[in-house]
């Protein structure tokens, strides 16, 4: 049965790749679904489709939720494009249930800093601040079959709103991970994310006044402007990793590779390395690039190079509560991703596993 599940999912995702349309690039909304608030996976540019576990798996590949032994609670914070005053906050929890199953729940929000409200009559500002609320909530179920194949699915609600206009939609993430090798050193993963309903904004802010066609009337008409709908930024990830088990005890080096097919932007290819000493100190570095990216001459508005210029790095310090039991621990994580504009994205995180 596990092989049937595996190949059925592979066939489904292959069809999804063929369904892409490059003419639609740049038309998707809900970009918050492509942001990663978790520091460990951000240090590898979110390339860990094949081996990510626990809370982070709800963002990259829900199949990895059931591969984490026990319960994990994680807090994440990111200073997105330092200098823009945009930040990400997230909290997530996963826990094993039943025989081979696991449940997860996560909440992520965006903070855009202080943005002044301006109008045509008061272009310098009214004195009020814009109240923006961008939140997505996910509920995940994952199941592991005989420690070789795991599958998972996430149902996510997406909300984007101001005080007088809002939009809401639903999205589904699904994934599979396969582990093999004498010491389970080879891992393979697939995930299809952000497949969901179209979203459109509505609310009082879209109302406008228009002249009354009746010349005898002394009042104006209030009309509603219909906003254009937009789709979720669907993404297909295909990843693999291999653990090089060092001849020196308690050391590990993992080579990671990942291909990302974006429905509304250029595809991406990346690779990274992760080094672990006793699974207590972990350092990681990654590189990711957009395929077919072209860069115009310097200083022109037509510059099409990617936002992230390729390099990412991070580290984790894991402190076990009891010697010889790595599943019960406290972790501190940090990641940095270099960007073409502004001063990069910084992630920090805390996690508790028991």
User: Smallest Cα–Cα separation from 74: which of 351, 353, 354?
Assistant: 351
Residue carrying the six token digits 């389970």: 184
Distance CA 176, CA 142 (A): 9
Q: How many CA atoms lie within 13 A of 219 on its CB side?
A: 3
Blockwise average pLDDT, block size 10, the chain, 354 residues: 52 48 70 95 96 96 94 96 94 94 97 89 88 95 91 96 92 96 92 93 87 83 86 94 84 95 89 94 95 54 66 95 81 96 95 94
- Torsion-angle region of 34 (φ positive above 0: left; ψ -120 to 50: alpha; else: beta): alpha
Residue carrying the six token digits 């009354």: 212
318 beta partners: 331
Distance CA 66, CA 94 (A): 9
pLDDT at 18: 41
Could you tell me which CATH number the domain at 2-18+28-353 has? Answer: 2.40.160.40
Contact 160, 30 (CB under 8 A): yes
Q: How many CA atoms lie within 13 A of 163 on its CB side?
A: 5
Residue carrying the six token digits 């936002």: 307
Domain ranges across the chain: 2-18+28-353
pLDDT at 305: 66
Helix (H) or strand (E) holding 303: none
Q: Is 345 exposed, middle or buried (0-12, 13-18, 19+ CB in 10 A)?
A: buried
Distance CA 258, CA 60 (A): 12
Contact 89, 76 (CB under 8 A): yes
207 beta partners: 224
Contact 305, 295 (CB under 8 A): yes
DSSP string, 34-69: G----HHHHTTTT--TTT--GGGHHHH-GGGGGGS-
Within 10 angstroms of residue 245's Cβ, the number of other Cβ atoms is 14
pLDDT at 19: 45
Contact 147, 115 (CB under 8 A): no
Contact 149, 5 (CB under 8 A): yes
User: Smallest Cα–Cα separation from 74: which of 103, 101, 94?
Assistant: 94
- The radius of gyration computed from the CA coordinates of the chain, to the nearest angstrom, equals 23
Residue carrying the six token digits 């005080």: 163
Angle at 18 between CA 13 and CA 24, to 5 degrees: 110
pLDDT at 304: 57
Distance CA 172, CA 192 (A): 8
> What is the value of pTM for the model shown?
0.87
């Amino acid at each position: 049965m596990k092989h049937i599940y595996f190949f059925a999912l592979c066939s489904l995702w292959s069809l999804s790749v063929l369904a892409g349309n490059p003419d639609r690039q740049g038309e998707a909304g809900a970009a918050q679904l492509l942001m990663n608030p978790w520091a460990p996976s951000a240090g590898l540019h979110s390339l860990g489709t094949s081996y990510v576990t626990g809370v982070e798996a709800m963002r990259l590949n829900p199949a990895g939720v059931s591969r984490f032994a026990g319960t994990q609670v994680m807090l994440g914070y990111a200073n997105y494009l330092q200098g823009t005053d945009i930040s990400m906050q997230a909290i997530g929890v996963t826990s094993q249930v039943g025989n081979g199953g696991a449940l997860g729940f996560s909440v992520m929000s965006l903070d855009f800093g202080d943005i002044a409200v301006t109008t045509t009559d008061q272009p310098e500002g009214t004195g009020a601040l814009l109240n923006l609320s961008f939140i997505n909530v996910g509920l995940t179920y994952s199941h592991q079959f005989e420690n070789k194949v795991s599958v998972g699915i996430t149902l996510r609600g997406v909300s984007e709103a101001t005080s007088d206009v809002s939009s809401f939609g639903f999205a589904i993430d699904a994934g599979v991970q396969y582990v093999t090798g004498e010491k389970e050193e080879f891992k393979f993963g697939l995930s299809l994310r952000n497949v969901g309903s179209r979203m459109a904004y509505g609310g009082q802010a879209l109302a406008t006044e228009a002249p009354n066609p009746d010349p005898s009337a002394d009042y104006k008409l209030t009309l509603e402007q219909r906003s254009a709908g937009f789709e979720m930024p669907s993404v297909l990830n295909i990843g693999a990793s291999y653990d090089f088990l060092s001849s020196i005890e308690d050391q590990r080096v993992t080579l990671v590779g990942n291909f990302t097919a974006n429905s509304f932007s250029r595809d991406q290819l990346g690779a990274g390395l992760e080094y672990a000493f006793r699974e207590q100190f972990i350092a990681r570095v990654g590189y990711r690039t957009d395929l077919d990216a072209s860069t115009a001459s310097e200083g022109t508005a037509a510059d099409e190079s990617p936002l992230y210029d390729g390099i990412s790095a991070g580290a984790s310090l894991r402190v076990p509560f009891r010697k010889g039991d790595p599943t019960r621990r406290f972790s501190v994580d940090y990641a940095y991703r270099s960007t073409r504009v502004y001063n990069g994205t910084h992630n920090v995180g805390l996690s508790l596993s028991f």
